[in-house]
Structure 1
């Protein structure tokens, strides 16, 4: 597979051309987990300015997932029998994964962002092993996903999931634990080695101490113990005082605003626009700096940065389309969104399980640095796993309701061609719907063959002279073979390199 060099030289000037199908699909693939033909059609002719405003406002106002019944459970709420307790914990975890994945499918930008931040402000459930902590961690992600980044960092550091994952719950003033202080700078706000010192980490750890009161029951929330806080003077990023937790956050954002802006905007850029932000061929570094300026000027509000980026010529440049490798979650969720196939929780469970097998285990990134994304998603084993798993998922959709494959094809070609007798029209429409940049001409011939040359459909069926009077026997809206043809075509497309991109 070719890996793209970032040659995007467009600027952050507004993109003012009314959206066509390609640009609208690009927007929905990046700001959510893609969209149906109907949603894309509704976007055609809108301006980026109006549609992005709609999606951002939706993200800002969406309610978070409601708390499950077990949101505040501790070990005392579980059965005394260890096996029964373990099974109940596993059932709750699966329930929450299903709820959150359904949110990914339905909540566009807000959940795309919460998913992004879960791979930035990383915790791992298999480390802290507490479902109530997971709920509040997820709640923090959703509430702050498109809010104020300084508030986000402040709140996240005091979630029980983070306190246990990065050892804040063991950070005693008499014996400081530096783990969270190090990652706060290196991974969460500044980037490795970016204008902080080892002494800053040591002093910051002292200022973050005291959140160690863990109770004597598993899953008991952590509280502050003043006797475990280092009350001495600390010098952090050049400022000296008896600093505590809130002071650390204030000093960090006051003393290093542009370092934070550059680091976070670089990660947003690589996630939403192009995985390579350092290529000399384009102007990504200029774009990132301008976004960082916007971030700082707006007191670290996330929405203005995204608004500027998503409305820009740079975002809609042809060089930005189809250049990001789909994560496993993209791979499966995009299919169901783009085809508009009916799904239930069994599909969601299959998508979660298949993604885990492809190394994207929901709520369990590989380590504190998170999934490295893009090129890491593709190797010999993973690509075979994608092929096999998507075939199983498509087969399930086909067995459940064959006619929805015909419906998808008719949606793709549009009302004017719903009764077409030309397989080229159908194949071309489905290829263009499922692939961000289409397909090479030679491979398109294979796709057309996958659709048209189906057992039981002789080629003469497509001839307008098959029936006297100039009528073809085969028609998209009537022929019995159509669902099978569409099913086989999608299977063929799903094996193509272009299908791995968004």
Structure 2
């Protein structure tokens, strides 16, 4: 896979005019998990600014996953028998993650962002094992995904999943635990070594004490115990006061607004635009873009929506140098493909579970990133073992769709091919399918191979003149087989790994 250097020199100025097909495809590949042919068709011709505003408004107003009946269960609510208890817990886990991943197919920006934040404000379900904690963690991600970042951080730090994960639940006034204080600065708001000291961590840990009341039944939501709180004065980020939990968050955002805004906007930039923003020689412009986004972030009092609106409306976001330069995560591969093709299998629930388990095998286990740093992303996904797994698993899903309904392959090709009922040149059908599934097409020296895969020597006499009589089109018997074969070829191409 080619190492992409960020040569995007376009500005953050609003882009003029309306969405064309390439811009619409690019927008949905980045702010969601791609989109259907119909969604892209409806987006084409829309004013960029107004369309982005509508997508952001949709994300802001979207309701969270409905609260399940077991959302506040403790261990006491589960069966006493261990096998029965574990079976019910497993069922609840499958229900929750299935409902969440289904949202990737339809919720566009809201759950693209909630998934992004799950890889920033990281917890691991394996650490606490409580379905109730996991539901409330996801609810926090969803309701804050495009809200105010300061309030997001404030709420997330008191989620039971987070208090258990980073040992806040063991942070007593007479024996402070520094884990959450350290990650609050290092990973969640400032960046490693950026604007804080070891003494700040020690003093912050004291201020965060007291959230240790775990109840008696297990899986009980953590609450505050005044007797375990250190009420003495603390000096944090140059300020001395009797800081408590809220005081820590307010002081952090008051004293380090520049550092926070830069750190978060850099992560948003690398996630939505280009993973390379650090190269001094080539990326001076990237740093200028991040500077401007960070200014917007501070000016809006850390509201996330204005930053994304500025970015998604910009010349920089739609520049050719930003297209097809991010490597798909495992979830991107399969969810994008399902959204783009509209392919379905016998059971949506089984399909979702297959996707979840396949992503786990490829290093992206939902609810359980490999560590507090989250999944490493981008080039991390491309190594020999993962690459083979990405190919074979994509072939598996294609075969699943084919076995369920082979005609949906013909339907897809018809949906993307202009004048499909009269198009008798198979190369133009190949072009249309490549255009839909690959953000920047295929390498010139590989294009003829794709044409050859789709063509059938036995049908040459029916193809477009001068080879044939022009009677072939996608409605011809067996055309669906050719589409299947072409897709099997496409998923092995390097360009298929990009978005």
Using the size of structure 1 for normalisation, the TM-score is 0.97
Q: 1:401: Cα distance to partner?
A: 1.1
Q: 1:474: Cα distance to partner?
A: 2.5
Measure, in 2, the Cα distance between the counterparts of 1:439 and 1:475. 23
Q: How does 1:171-320 map to 2 (within 5 A)?
A: 171-279=171-279, 280-282=281-283, 283-320=285-322
Q: How does 1:381-400 map to 2 (within 5 A)?
A: 381-400=385-404
User: Does residue 474 of the first structure (1) align with residue 476 of the second (2)?
Assistant: no
Q: 1:458: Cα distance to partner?
A: 3.9
User: Does residue 422 of the first structure (1) align with residue 425 of the second (2)?
Assistant: yes
Q: Secondary structure at the match of 2:486?
A: helix
For residues 370-411 of structure 1, the C-alpha deviation after alignment (integer angstroms, 9 at most, x for no partner) is: 001000001001010011111111111111111111111011
For residues 428-458 of structure 1, the C-alpha deviation after alignment (integer angstroms, 9 at most, x for no partner) is: 000011000001122111111111137xx44
CA contact (8 A) 2:461 2:469 kept: no
1:352 corresponds, among 356, 359, 368, to 356
Q: 1:84: Cα distance to partner?
A: 1.6
Q: Which runs of 5+ in 2 are unaligned?
A: none
Q: 1:82: Cα distance to partner?
A: 1.1
2:332 corresponds, among 327, 330, 333, to 330
Q: Secondary structure at the match of 1:417?
A: coil
Measure, in 2, the Cα distance between the counterparts of 1:486 and 1:217. 56
Measure, in 2, the Cα distance between the counterparts of 1:212 and 1:345. 38
Q: 1:345: Cα distance to partner?
A: 1.5
Measure, in 2, the Cα distance between the counterparts of 1:114 and 1:463. 48
Measure, in 1, the Cα distance between the counterparts of 2:157 and 2:35. 34
Which shifted more, 343-352 or 167-176? 343-352
Q: Secondary structure at the match of 2:240?
A: strand
Q: How does 1:66-215 map to 2 (within 5 A)?
A: 66-215=66-215
Measure, in 1, the Cα distance between the counterparts of 2:470 and 2:305. 54
For residues 23-73 of structure 1, the C-alpha deviation after alignment (integer angstroms, 9 at most, x for no partner) is: 110000000000111111111112220111111010010000101111111
1:411 corresponds, among 407, 415, 420, to 415
Measure, in 2, the Cα distance between the counterparts of 1:151 and 1:53. 22
The corresponding residue for 1:9 is: 9
Q: Secondary structure at the match of 1:240?
A: strand
Measure, in 2, the Cα distance between the counterparts of 1:418 and 1:124. 51
1:447 corresponds, among 435, 450, 453, to 450
Measure, in 2, the Cα distance between the counterparts of 1:396 and 1:287. 43
Q: 1:17: Cα distance to partner?
A: 3.3
Measure, in 1, the Cα distance between the counterparts of 2:361 and 2:413. 31
The corresponding residue for 1:486 is: 483
Which shifted more, 272-281 or 254-263? 272-281
User: Does residue 401 of the first structure (1) align with residue 414 of the second (2)?
Assistant: no
Spell out structure 1 runs of 4+ moving beyond 3 A. Answer: 463-466, 470-473
The corresponding residue for 2:439 is: 436
For residues 115-149 of structure 1, the C-alpha deviation after alignment (integer angstroms, 9 at most, x for no partner) is: 00000000000011100000000000000000000
Which shifted more, 68-77 or 198-207? 68-77
Measure, in 2, the Cα distance between the counterparts of 1:277 and 1:449. 39
The corresponding residue for 1:372 is: 376
User: For residues 463 and 154 of structure 1, do their structure 2 counterparts lie closer, same or farther at Cα, with a shift above 3 Å needed?
Assistant: closer
Using the size of structure 2 for normalisation, the TM-score is 0.97
Q: Which runs of 5+ in 1 are unaligned?
A: none
Two-structure CA RMSD over aligned residues (Å): 1.2
Measure, in 2, the Cα distance between the counterparts of 1:465 and 1:155. 68
Q: Secondary structure at the match of 1:211?
A: coil
What is the number of equivalent residue pairs in this alignment? 495
Measure, in 1, the Cα distance between the counterparts of 2:113 and 2:464. 50
CA contact (8 A) 2:148 2:304 kept: yes
Q: Secondary structure at the match of 2:235?
A: strand
The corresponding residue for 1:321 is: 323
Q: Secondary structure at the match of 1:30?
A: helix
